[in-house]
Structure 1
Amino acid sequence: MTTASRISWPGPPTGQEDRPSPNAGVGDGGRPERLAEAVAAADAPDTVFALSRHGRRTVVTGGTGEAPARPRDRLRYEIGSATKAFTGLLLAHLVDSGRLTGGEPAAALLGARRPPGRTPVTLAHLVTHTAGLPALPAGFYPRALPAWRTNPYGRYPDARVVDAFLRYRPRHRPGTRWRYSNFGVAVLGHALGAATGADWQDLLAEHLLAPLGLHDTVPRPAGDGLDAVGHDKDGTGTLPAFDAGGFRAAGAVRATPHDLLTFLEAHLDPARCPPLSGALHAVRTPVLRRGLGHRHVHTVAWFRHPTDGGPLYFHSGATLGQQAFLGFRTDTGTALAAVCTRRFRANDPFVSTAYALLAEDR
């Protein structure tokens, strides 16, 4: 946990949203050889690296396993915590459209019986990981352990997530410290449902998936044979489809690489989707800085790192048997969606390779 500062969302942003460089030239749509190297480095049964540069796409697929019946880039992959980029954009849209402010106390929305404290946990605290919540509820582990390698989250349903939040008493005043929390974003999903009268997945479908044309993105296993199959660390044994349980807003989305690129391309050019343009601009704006010298910068949906040309936005994610990396840069007009079907392991090269590929783009 680290001290956070300059948390001012909702309200005027703390800094200017980044703008594309006037000297950013149109590239050749990608680097097939470099993408192929990244696919090989992932060392997973199924891997896809999909890059878009100024709208021109290059997609390279491969893997150590037998090629599936459907092309790898047409399968839906579990993106795990990268789901938070969708949930952050959803909240930004609900605020931009005037349905919410972001300052609503989450406990009140979820039916707390006792009055909120002097500084209640708000929706903005939850989305920025400053609510003072742990990564997971304390009661999560005893319930999850019997199914730790197959279905731990599925044993912790919606009602338990909400109840654990209403019982929890943060050790630090909300808004003062940053701590990455699956628990907090899961609670945010339930609070959004309570505030709007619609479940998180229905809000996602109506306000994000439909306007963006993400027809191959779903919040749960579809059972149609189009979902990629996850694998264990050595890439040999298969794993069941991920069940997010009550943590859907923090990790349930699965999508094709092409849908993920469409999602990222909208962030590069918000004008392409007028219903979401305000929110797409908002999630590129820094709202929180933390760490020594405030080096770590966050928006309501993305980690934001500097490069020589401009900021790089990214979020990674993993389920029991799959991994994903999403990132984009406005200075080069580049977006990268990378996915693979292998459980994360020590010194895993997948995320670092994807990050480096996007960071080195010119």
Structure 2
Amino acid sequence: MDARLEEAVRAVDAPDVVFAFSRDGRRTVRCGGTGPPPPVPRELLRYEIGSASKTFTGLLLARLLLAGRVSGDDAAAARIAGAGPAGTGGVTLMHLVTHTSGLPPLPPGFRRQALPRWSTNPYAGYPAERVVRAFLDSRPRHRPGTRWRYSNFGVAVLGHALAAATATPWDELLTREVLDPLGLAGTGLSPSGPGVDATGHLADGTTPTPPLLIGGFQAAGAVRARPHDLLTFLEAHLAPEGVPLADALRWVRRPVLRRGLGHRHEHTPAWFRHPTDRGPMYFHSGATSGQQAFIGFCPDTGSALAALSTRRFHRRDRFVATAYGLLNDAG
């Protein structure tokens, strides 16, 4: 595994690269990159994981569902604004977490307002109130529950619905219900600055990007975490017995829909789930303006991988393919 991780690190063209692997709780971490080593070791920095944050959001929903604080059939509009179930087409919390709400990937008009900052912080000018208003003014493009379409907009709305249902700000809610119980002290939802957070880079691999400001899309992509915290998160999914949130960790592993050629690819409330020769592989990737992440695990072999990179993908980018292939082969 040492050699395979070293090879994976070399295959990724980015200033900073970390591949952290766990099998049955035994960890191996390899770091490298095309840039000079930062003052703080790469494996101790926090990385923006972008859409892989949705796995944390799915786990939080599971936690609240199993505690009876919300129901998957709750109308999102009712939770947010007290609107009746017919509001916004009857979109429920489960529709939002499974990307079957009928909402588009981003709110109408989002790209126009984000264009001036598209390569740095496209979400910064779209605060929570604007996300909520866009949702309450929207109508699903097809009947909720009938079609899968990946939606940052939908998961962002889910976050606001859960925050409203619990009368708790999102960062406080996720920290209290997920991060603290799992002991993820190196994980957060807002920038902390140099020496704590890794610095991302544009596709040229040299131009640094500012820290991500996610606006009202926290539930869809705000998490920044250290590699070892991500392994702790994944190991909890692999062996939930005796772990806080054990029932929720089991709940988010259950498939809820199929899609793709021959319906071979499944989805859970938090993960993509693909078949492999060694059993199912659960995974999610994510990207921000200057960083990328891939996290995944294989329950049948007790294997988990957290891969991180400080370069936004470019035309010949091999990051996700390398990480996916490593977990698939090593699993």
Identify whether the pair has TM-score above 0.5, normalized to the shorter chain. yes
Tell me if 1:321 matches 2:290. yes
CA distance in structure 2 between the aligned counterparts of 1:138 and 1:119, rounded to whole angstroms? 16
Inter-partner Cα distance in structure 2 for 1:307 and 1:295:
11
2:138 to 168, 176, 198: 168
1:116 maps onto 2:86 in alignment:
yes
Q: Contact between 2:179 and 2:185, CA under 8 Å: does it hold in 1?
A: yes
The Cα shift of 1:115 comes to 5.8
Q: What is residue 215 of structure 2 aligned with on the other side?
A: 245
Distance 2:274 2:29 in 1: 25
Structure-to-structure mapping, 1:51-90, within 5 angstroms: 51-90=21-60
1:196 paired with 2:166, answer yes
Distance 1:187 1:317 in 2: 18
Residues 174-227 of structure 1 show CA distances to partners (whole Å, capped at 9, x for unaligned) of 000000000000000000000010112111100111110000000110236310
8 Å Cα contact 1:105-1:121 kept in structure 2: yes
SS at match of 1:270: coil
Q: How many residues of Structure 1 are paired with residues of Structure 2 in the alignment?
A: 331
CA contact (8 A) 1:78 1:319 kept: yes
1:309 matched to 2:278: yes
The 2-side partners of 1:140 and 1:226 are apart by 31
1:224-253: CA deviation from partner (whole Å, max 9, x where unpaired): 631000011121111100111110100000
Q: Select which of 61, 67, 73 maps to 1:103.
A: 73
What is the distance in 2 between the residues matched to 1:324 and 1:222? 19
CA contact (8 A) 2:40 2:195 kept: no
Deviations 1:55-88 (A, max 9, x none): 0000000011010011000000000000000000
TM-score, length of structure 2 as denominator length:
0.97
**Residue 135 of structure 1 corresponds to which residue in structure 2?**
105
Greater shift, 195-204 or 251-260, is seen at 195-204
Look up the equivalent residue of 1:321 and give its one-letter code: G
Q: CA RMSD in A?
A: 1.3
The reply on whether 1:359 has 2:328 as its aligned counterpart is: yes
In 2, the alpha carbon distance for the partners of 1:120 and 1:186 equals: 17
Q: Give the CA deviation at 1:117.
A: 5.2
- Structure 2 partner of 1:149: 119
Q: Supply the AA of the counterpart residue of 2:260.
A: G
1:14-63 deviations in Å (ceiling 9; x for gaps): xxxxxxxxxxxxxxxxx011101111111110100000000000000001
Post-superposition shift, 1:309?
1.4
Counterpart of 2:206? 236
Answer yes or no: is 1:256 the counterpart of 2:226: yes
Over the matched positions of the two proteins, sequence identity in percent amounts to: 65
CA 1:124/1:231 → structure 2, altered by over 3 Å: closer, same or farther?
same
The counterpart of 1:278, out of the listed 223, 227, 247, is 247
Give, in whole Å, the separation in 1 of the partners of 2:87 and 2:110: 25
**Letter paired with 2:81:** G
SS of equivalent to 2:72: coil
Structure 1-normalised TM-score? 0.89
Runs of 4+ with >6 A deviation:
none
Matched residue of 2:36: which SS? coil
**Do residues 180 (structure 1) and 146 (structure 2) align?**
no
Change (3 A) 1:115 1:358: closer
Amino acid across the alignment from 1:350: F
Number of the residue aligned with 1:221: 191
Q: Distance in 2 between matches of 1:115 and 1:263?
A: 35
Verify: 1:43 aligned to 2:35, yes or no: no
Cα deviation 1:96-148 (Å, max 9, x = unaligned): 12211111100111115566259610000000000000000112111101111
- The answer to whether the 8 Å contact 1:266/1:272 transfers is no
Residue 339 of structure 1 aligns to a residue in which SS?
A: strand
CA distance in 2, matches of 1:118, 1:204: 26
Candidates 334, 343, 346, aligned match of 2:312: 343
AA aligned to 1:284 is R
2:77·2:84 contact (CA, 8 Å) conserved in 1?
Answer: no
Task: Assess if the C-alpha contact under 8 Å between 1:83 and 1:249 holds in 2.
Answer: yes
Distance 2:316 2:39 in 1: 31
Letter in 1 for 2:220: A
Q: What one-letter code is carried by the residue in structure 2 that aligns with 1:160?
A: R
- Partner of residue 262 from structure 2, selected from 278, 283, 293: 293
CA contact (8 A) 2:77 2:87 kept: no
